[in-house]
Amino acid sequence: MKPDAPRRRRHRSRQGHRWIGLAAAFPLLWLALSGILLNHAATFGLNDRMVTSAWILRHYNQIPEGDPVGVLVGDRVVAGWNGLLFLDSKQIPLQGELQGAAALKGQLVVATDEEIGIFNGSDELVLELDELSLPGVPVEGISVQEGRLLVYSKAQWYRLSEDFFTSEEVPEIVSSLPPDLLAADHRKELSEAMQTRRAMPLSRVILDAHSGSLFGWPGWVITDLSALSLLVLTVLGLRLFPRPRS
Amino acid sequence: MTVFLLCGGGVFAAPGVYQKPSDFVKSSLGQIPATQAIKLTGAQQARVRAMLGKNYKSKSIRYWSAKGKTAYILEEIGKTEDITTGIVVKGGRIDAVKVLIYRETHGGEVARHSFTRQLRGVSLKSDLQLSKNPKNIAGATLSVRALTKLARLALYLETLK
């Protein structure tokens, strides 16, 4: 080996360290900053802060499969789409597939195969009824007769009490309005609302940005290269560490 | 996994059903008693909001009572999905906690008996905090927090009956 070889090697290491460090500086800063934020997400309230930016939410592709179905109750549209329920394009906290909806004494009743929700005039969920309080599940339809809610389940109609907690069989056949495919304009409105209103917790968005997945394959490549550059910087830094003899 | 997350897999993931709510009530109380409900007043809702950080999903909360025990089926969001939990209260203390339906993709460790048994015997202090908080589970922090909130809520509801 020539006597100036260590010096040349040191020079190459320094140059490599400098330029790789410059190229990776921003991604590494982001990884460090987002890592700290994620470690203290609860302290900073990042789990409670919601991201509503449409361009970010579109990345999450939150449109369910299949066709939405709906029921018109006066001027209200109750829609169900692959297990998600909506009232005028705003998601409501019920589970199951939509089976029907009806107005009852100033309230709105929404039925899925798993449960029934009673909403007040302000669209607040007043009461949720499931298998524990219903005469039977799956619910297959609902109707309103003489100010009382009727539920169809297991080939039988039941009339619920005023407080909804007890029921009696109804011998006669009752007509009900099943959900139908949503009209094109309502479907478009629902799709747009889902893309723009399904807010995500800020911590989730930061996590995906930290891993690079939020930005698709370019994000993964940048994150991987940043991680690799950190390894290279460490090796180059170690090579620079021994001081040359003067 | 990343593709799954990008496609909103958590939102449409199949839920893990550990026990049907009706089976939980029946096994806890020996029967399924008549449904009763607590209709929260404005002041009570404010206290619930202080505990949960938001209003509970419904204004009336159902419960089932028998043999000196009361069973509540409560739901709280872990990260993005509801965790359906059955809680039995007896004499102002938690008698049993069971995760019934877990819909999140991560944090299902809270459904383990080793975690839920920590809440047994816990009561509510005057500041609406639990007499003893459960230990956190790394990677399931939000689910742990959700179950802790539900335990506080069930104990608070017990004082309203």
pLDDT band at B2 (very low <50, low <70, confident <90, very high): very low
The two tokens of residue A120 are 């007040």
Inter-chain CB proximity A165 and B21 less than 8 Å: no
Q: CA A196, CA A180: separation in Å to the nearest integer? A: 25
* Total domains present in chain B: 1
Mean pLDDT of B2-18: 51
Residue B1 counted as domain residue: no
Beta strands in chain B (DSSP E): 16-17, 36-39, 60-66, 69-77, 82-90, 93-102
Inter-chain CB proximity A47 and B35 less than 8 Å: no
Q: Residue B6: its pLDDT value, please?
A: 37
Inter-chain CB proximity B53 and A124 less than 8 Å: no
The sheet carrying A139-145 orders its strands as A139-145, A148-153, A156-160, A167-170
Termini Cα distance of chain B: 46
Q: Residue B1: its pLDDT value, please?
A: 35
The percentage of residues in chain B with a pLDDT greater than 70, rounded to a whole number, is 91
Q: Residue A239: its pLDDT value, please?
A: 85
Q: Residue A9: its pLDDT value, please?
A: 82
Cβ-in-10-Å burial (0-12, 13-18, 19+) of A227 comes to middle
What element of type H or E holds A233? helix A216-240
Contact criterion met (CB below 8 Å) for B22 and A132: yes
Q: CA A104, CA A111: separation in Å to the nearest integer? A: 13
Q: Residue B104: its pLDDT value, please?
A: 84
Q: How distant is the Cα of B96 from the closest Cα of chain A, in angstroms?
A: 19
Contacts of A82 in chain B (CB under 8 A): 12
| CB nearest to B142's CB, from A47, A82, A95 | A47
Closest CA in chain A for residue B6: A60
Q: Residue B99: its pLDDT value, please?
A: 96
Residue B4 counted as domain residue: no
Say if residue B7's pLDDT is above 60: no
CB pairs under 8 A between A and B: 73
pTM, to two decimals: 0.72
CATH architecture under which domain A63-197 falls: 6 Propeller (2.120)
Residue B108 counted as domain residue: yes
What is the complex's ipTM, to 2 decimals? 0.82
At what angle are helices A5-39 and A216-240 packed, to 10 degrees?
A: 130
Enclosing domain of residue B43: 14-160
Say if residue B5's pLDDT is above 50: no
Residue B82 counted as domain residue: yes
Interface test with B, best of A133, A162, A195, A211 (most B CBs within 10 A): A133
Q: CA B5, CA B107: separation in Å to the nearest integer? A: 15
Residue B5 counted as domain residue: no
Q: Residue B81: its pLDDT value, please?
A: 85
Q: What is the pLDDT of residues B23-32, one digit of tens each?
A: 999 999 999 9
Among residues A164, A114, A110, which one has the least CA distance to residue A137? A114
Q: What is the pLDDT of residues B97-111, one digit of tens each?
A: 999 999 888 888 999
Q: CA A159, CA A165: separation in Å to the nearest integer? A: 11
Residue B60 counted as domain residue: yes
Cβ-in-10-Å burial (0-12, 13-18, 19+) of B137 comes to middle
Contacts of B57 in chain A (CB under 8 A): 93, 125, 128
Domain ranges of chain A: 11-58+199-240, 63-197
Q: CA B78, CA A151: separation in Å to the nearest integer? A: 32
Residue B6 counted as domain residue: no
SS3 A223: helix
Say if residue B13's pLDDT is above 80: no
Q: Return the higher-pLDDT residue of A186 and B151.
A: B151
Average pLDDT of the residues of chain B: 89
Q: Residue B14: its pLDDT value, please?
A: 56
The residues that bridge with A104 in the sheet, in sequence order, are: A107
Q: CA B45, CA B49: separation in Å to the nearest integer? A: 6
Q: How distant is the Cα of A61 from the closest Cα of chain B, in angstroms?
A: 6
Query: Which residue is listed with tokens 């609406």?
Result: B128
Give ∠ CA B112-B118-B122 in degrees, rounded to 5.
Answer: 140
Residues of chain A with pLDDT under 70: 1-3, 54, 58, 61-63, 195-198, 244-246
Q: How distant is the Cα of B1 from the closest Cα of chain A, in angstroms?
A: 10
CA distances from A119 to A146, A151, B18, B37 (A): 19, 17, 29, 16
Q: Residue A7: its pLDDT value, please?
A: 80
SS3 A62: coil
Inter-chain CB proximity B8 and A62 less than 8 Å: yes
Residue B99 counted as domain residue: yes
Q: Residue B11: its pLDDT value, please?
A: 38
The two tokens of residue A215 are 């930005």
